[in-house]
Amino acid sequence: MAEQDAKKDRSRTGAPVRALRTAGGLSVRFELRPLIVVAALLVVAFVASVVLIGTGDFRIPVPDVLNTLMGNGTAAHEFIINDLRLPRVVVGLLVGAALGLSGALFQSVTRNPLGSPDIIGFGQGSTVGALVVIVLFQGSAEAVALGSLAGGLVTGVLIYLLAWKRGIHGYRLVLVGIGAAAVLTAANGYLLTKAQIVDAARAVVWITGSLNGRGWEQVGPLFWFCLILMPLVLAYARPLRMLEMGDDVAYALGVRVERTRLVLMTAAVLLTAAATAAAGPVAFVSLTAPQLARRLTRSPGPNLMASMVMGATLLIAADLGAQRVFGADQLPVGVVTGVLGGGYLLWLLAAERKAGRV
């Protein structure tokens, strides 16, 4: 039988670290505070999801929502929840988790709190791909999603190649990405000016970032992207932690630096592109989720799991606020995250300036 040996240690932050040992000699070290934070965020995400499912023109009490999710609801409740509202919530959770994880990856690889996909151009690249399909080809929703995915991938390759100079340096990647974001934003504006009024209206709704009208057809592709990429990224948590200490230290510890960086950046670009294809370019979740997760866990390293759960919680909470706070004038979730994330970005820049880092 496995026996637990809960030996206390200290991490670099002074937080208690415990070890779980088995009879076979396997030892797993973990910090208690991050586990508590992740568990608490999961509870918050679940509660917010249940309340969000019951929110709408036809309000459904929380007990009825839970009964329906367990298969004991009425026919009317099953139709409203399972066919109309549940897929929206699932898309929101997956999009938030994907954006939170991709943001943690970019910030860790670049070693810069501003190394976020929506700051360094990847979100804008996905938007260009979607707008090309909408404006030039009047494509269907599926075609728009594919265009967004293709735009994100092409942008990722171009930024990587432009930032390459005997390897990838985080500071250079951020600068190249900010320049690319400016160019791509201009391209988005040009496409909107050339669109017909109907296509322009459709494009504006999409580029705001919204969960409205999302169904099971958006859940499937995003679910498979997350199912494949998230375990891959979590498996690279230890090399990524070493990369944060610098390339020379990582090389000395046996990490294949460029290979690891390429795999993680590819996964981050795919997660960003898939999330954007499903819900549009939802702003600032990938920027704020990793930072908030790190402050809550008080743990060094990329905090991948905490960032992923924080992203899902933030997006669902923002969508709930968009529906509940503004009454009949429901806002797209991208507007709410943009307002909150913009305020957080200003605070972050002020904090970095005060610390002398910018």
Asked if 199 and 132 count as a contact pair (C-beta separation under 8 A), the reply is no
Residue 3: the pLDDT is 40
Output the six-digit token pair for 343: 């305020």
Closest CA to 52 of 36, 38, 69: 69
- Helix or strand run (H / E) with residue 36: helix 32-53
pTM of the model: 0.85
Q: Which of 170, 172, 188, 176 is nearest to 125 (CA)?
A: 188
Q: How many CB atoms lie within 10 A of CB 23?
A: 8
Who contacts 190 (Cβ-Cβ below 8 Å, separation ≥6)?
Answer: none
Mean pLDDT, consecutive 10-residue stretches, the chain (358 aa), reads 42 52 56 86 94 85 88 85 90 93 88 79 85 82 83 86 73 82 88 82 80 85 90 86 75 78 87 88 87 84 88 92 70 83 77 67
Structure tokens at 347: 């605070």
Residue 207 pLDDT: 82
Quick one: pLDDT at residue 189? Answer: 86
